[in-house]
Structure 1
């Protein structure tokens, strides 16, 4: 069975006024459009043709076609017109414990100070759909960060002093704690001003980004936290995978994002929203590492983005060409989304057909087993992982 899905863009302030509208081939609304959710998450479920939410449809009819009552993943289109908050997500154990703790404390799930809105983890991956997609992901090698901070001159001395330890992870964790909880406004301002003045060939892009972040979030400690992070510029079709505890922030561009079905976010700057510093430090993985770029595995003309041990999701990407159909084997309930061209889908068992244009999505029930894609364009398919 093929079930069409629609949803309205979410108007977070960091959203782009053009990227999603351009993808869908319509006139911009004039409002920031940040994300379109193609899933059953209760915060913003997609809608099926008869007006029911996807969650309601799965509860009413999904079992007959072998679909679960609840999807293990959430598929999104994400459009960053300005930087998102620096953030990290909890592990499954941390989410369960944190959710139970806040439920017992009677904190309303919609409250601004609420941290755990569900009991699930939120590993996530994003694939660039725009020509480039800029992100901050993970903490940079400490020696490289020390070189960057040295380029700040006298204004960076306070930051350098917090990065002197021999244990890289401990030094980075303690520095983040100082920046978010203990550093004064004048100390933060001095570091940001030093970064604005600094010139350095090795870190020219990072310093340019720092000036951009300070324009968007003047004086925010997150501007300095960003100086500790890997700057990544994905080309179209490239991906990042962000596991539990890893700091990240999407800066600019359009992407297809897939994650475990959760809305748990621990923020670490670049935001006016609530920052729970002790809880962020509790779930943070401060280990420095290279950018978490995820390479796909090619299987019969389809690229598969997946991570061992992540059973919630995998993402398939098919570049459908006009001269040949592409067969996409499916393992479980799937959501197919077009991001370019015009792609015709034929379900493997029932033979049901539909046509997807950019921004259009369809649920494929598990009993179909596969889909055949023809036409021409880019097709992304979310499936459960292994």
Structure 2
């Protein structure tokens, strides 16, 4: 096991205090690894990404980039199975994020679009760190979020009827044109309605097989993200007036997302896209999985985020950063669908250790959120999980849930203290500290701290942790 240092990312949307407090960092102006100076701290990367690798502290006290350590000993660090499947790399990128204001409206590219875009930008001589670069690597990014506190987002498209019910009450010309786009059908294949021909020209080749409903969603989304900036003195009042006239909880949640975005990005018409999308309101321990191609925007809160080892982001609006609307539209999934909850059916309580697993149907990663306690008091999160999955928990009953016993693992203490043990060694982690656990370390156990308090490690009767790994 090696202590691992997260890479700080200081984006404008980040928190002034949340991550600073969790990781015992000073508040105020600071500089991240990319030279960005800011008061905000947005993301902490536990990373094997080539452009922002985390540092490991070795037995002799020397520091080594995680990427280099894996290249030097791939079988010991990530295991033979993952080395043969993914190569000598960490297959996932693990982050703790905190959003004070909404992030950009974005899509992650599909795998073939990522490969083509990366090679195209390389051929054009665009540096990897250039602000106008969209493709940082060749991988699709499928990501999952687990809330560490109340967390709000917009994810994927809601049913068209829901979109229309909300947009119809927004007295704004862009919103009304979006309504027209959702209602205007294509009666002759290959011949789009003339007023939306520019949108159809930006559809991917695969759209030839789309049903007309997807084409209408595409046109409405295109309408908002390509509209000129509008007067904030008309857009925000129109949203507020519409909110007063809505009577659905889901509609109010979608409007709340749009209002927060309009406050952060005055006059940006792309905030209206949030009224087309599913409003996601997660409590601690709840999760959502976001496949490549799914439009989304994180709005507010702190969460764990894990994804395939990619930093590809295509932005459409709500950002001062580079927008790449053509490439975003080529990866956009226009199929209305409910958000995906990847919580495992294996929900169980261990002796002095409660854990919830999150495992989407991909081979790169899974996540465990766990808690240890010196007493017999149940972790409050498990009560919430039991209420949400009550029938499932009763049907399965108590079940011993083992953490992954091999593969590359990253464990972060998020609260209190925990003791992490393998057959070879044990370490005590306090809040904000983290370990990279080698594949050849074998079985790992996380318990409450049994040793007495010291100046370096204060005693704690409980602790919470996150464990990222490849599925086992």
Equivalent position to 1:197, from 237, 241, 246:
241
- Once the two structures are superposed, the pairs formed by residues 283-322 of structure 1 within 5 Å of their partners are 283-298=331-346, 300-301=348-349, 302-308=355-361, 310-322=362-374
Which residue is 1:56 aligned to? 68
Which residue is 2:191 aligned to? none
Equivalent position to 2:179, from 141, 160, 165:
160
- Once the two structures are superposed, the pairs formed by residues 1-386 of structure 1 within 5 Å of their partners are 2-30=1-29, 31-49=39-57, 50-65=62-77, 67=79, 68=83, 69-130=88-149, 132-153=150-171, 155=173, 156-165=175-184, 167-181=212-226, 183-186=227-230, 192-198=236-242, 199=244, 200-202=246-248, 203-298=251-346, 300-301=348-349, 302-308=355-361, 310-323=362-375, 328-347=403-422, 349-350=423-424, 352-375=425-448, 376-385=462-471
| 3-state SS of paired residue (1:99) | helix
- Give distance in 2, aligned partners of 1:208 and 1:93: 35
| 3-state SS of paired residue (2:371) | strand
In structure 2, the CA distance between the partners of 1:336 and 1:48, relative to structure 1 (3 Å rule), is same
1:193 positional shift: 4.2
TM-score (norm 2): 0.75
Work out whether residues 21 and 28 of structure 1, in 8 Å CA contact, stay in contact via their aligned partners in 2. Answer: yes
TM-score (norm 1): 0.91
- Number of aligned pairs? 380
Encode CA deviations 1:112-138: one digit per residue, 9 max, x unaligned: 2211110011100011112x0111111
1:105 positional shift: 2.4
Work out whether residues 326 and 373 of structure 1, in 8 Å CA contact, stay in contact via their aligned partners in 2. Answer: no
User: 5+ residue gaps in structure 1?
Assistant: none
- Give distance in 2, aligned partners of 1:252 and 1:177: 25
Work out whether residues 318 and 326 of structure 1, in 8 Å CA contact, stay in contact via their aligned partners in 2. Answer: no
Work out whether residues 178 and 223 of structure 2, in 8 Å CA contact, stay in contact via their aligned partners in 1. Answer: no
- Give distance in 2, aligned partners of 1:162 and 1:65: 52
Encode CA deviations 1:354-374: one digit per residue, 9 max, x unaligned: 112222111111122221111
Work out whether residues 196 and 210 of structure 1, in 8 Å CA contact, stay in contact via their aligned partners in 2. Answer: no
Could you say which structure has the larger radius of gyration? 2
In structure 2, the CA distance between the partners of 1:153 and 1:384, relative to structure 1 (3 Å rule), is same
1:27 positional shift: 4.5
- Give distance in 2, aligned partners of 1:9 and 1:72: 20
Q: Pairwise CA RMSD of aligned residues?
A: 2.3
In structure 2, the CA distance between the partners of 1:283 and 1:8, relative to structure 1 (3 Å rule), is closer
Encode CA deviations 1:181-231: one digit per residue, 9 max, x unaligned: 2x3445998555422322212223332332221111011132111121111
In structure 2, the CA distance between the partners of 1:5 and 1:253, relative to structure 1 (3 Å rule), is same
- Give distance in 2, aligned partners of 1:292 and 1:327: 24
